[in-house]
C-alpha cells in the first residue's frame, strides 16, 4: 500500500492531473465526476459549487474514492479511498489556486458568482499507486 508522502503519489497530486471523485447516490449506486485536485501544504482537497449531485452525496455520506490519473500516461494512477469534510471557509481562494494549477490563470466562474463554492478536505484511509509502461 502506498502512502500520501510517497514521491510518485506526490507527483500525481501536485501535477495538473485530473481526478475522478466517486460518491454514493441515495439509492446506493455510484456517481463518478471529473474534478480538479488540490494538494497544498499537505492537504488533499477538491472544490465545487454547492448543490451539485456529487457534492450533495458527500455531504450526506463522506466516504469517497478519488482516482488521479497521469495526464501523459493513463497506465499511471493513484486511487485514494477515504472520507471528506466540507467547508465554505477558504473555498474561493482554493478554487483560484486549483484553477491556476490547471489553467495557468484565475477561475472564470462559469456557473455564476452567486453559487457558493465549497472545499472538500479529503482524509486518506487507503492509497493504492499503480504504474505500468505505456
Instruction: State how far the Cα of 90 lies from the Cα of 121, in Å rounded to an integer.
Output: 11
- What is the pLDDT confidence band of residue 110, given thresholds at 50, 70 and 90? low
Q: Are 57 and 42 in contact (CB under 8 A)?
A: no
Instruction: State how far the Cα of 52 lies from the Cα of 43, in Å rounded to an integer.
Output: 23
Give domain status of residue 96, yes or no: no
Give domain status of residue 86, yes or no: no
How many folded domains does the chain comprise?
Answer: 1
Nearest to 63 by CA among 40, 81, 88: 81
Give domain status of residue 12, yes or no: yes
Cα–chain center distance at 98 = 10
CB 110: neighbour CB atoms within 10 A? 7
Give domain status of residue 57, yes or no: yes
Mean per-residue pLDDT, 23-30: 97
Write the CA distances from 67 to 70, 74, 101, integer angstroms: 10, 11, 18
Write the CA distances from 96 to 19, 37, 43, 91, integer angstroms: 17, 12, 16, 9
Give domain status of residue 9, yes or no: yes
Q: Which domain holds residue 39?
A: 1-17+34-73
Instruction: State how far the Cα of 117 lies from the Cα of 94, in Å rounded to an integer.
Output: 9
pLDDT digits (tens, 9 = 90+) for 113-127: 667 899 999 999 999
pLDDT digits (tens, 9 = 90+) for 71-94: 999 999 999 999 999 999 999 899
Give domain status of residue 46, yes or no: yes
Give domain status of residue 83, yes or no: no
* The pLDDT of residue 107 is above 70: yes
CB 75: neighbour CB atoms within 10 A? 11
* DSSP class of 116: P
Entry pTM: 0.92
Give domain status of residue 80, yes or no: no
Amino acid at each position: 500500500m502506498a502512502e500520501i508522502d510517497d514521491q510518485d503519489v506526490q507527483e500525481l497530486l501536485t501535477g495538473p492531473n485530473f481526478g475522478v471523485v466517486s460518491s454514493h447516490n441515495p439509492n446506493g449506486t455510484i456517481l463518478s465526476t471529473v474534478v480538479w485536485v488540490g494538494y497544498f501544504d499537505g492537504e488533499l482537497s477538491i472544490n465545487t459549487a454547492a448543490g451539485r449531485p456529487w457534492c450533495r452525496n458527500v455531504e450526506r455520506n463522506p466516504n469517497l474514492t478519488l482516482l488521479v490519473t497521469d495526464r501523459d500516461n493513463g497506465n499511471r494512477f493513484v486511487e485514494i479511498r477515504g472520507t471528506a469534510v466540507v467547508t465554505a471557509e477558504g473555498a474561493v481562494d482554493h478554487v483560484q489556486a486549483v484553477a491556476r494549477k490547471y489553467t495557468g490563470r484565475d477561475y472564470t466562474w462559469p456557473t455564476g458568482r452567486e453559487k457558493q463554492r465549497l472545499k472538500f478536505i479529503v482524509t486518506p484511509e487507503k492509497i493504492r499507486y499503480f504504474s505500468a509502461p505505456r
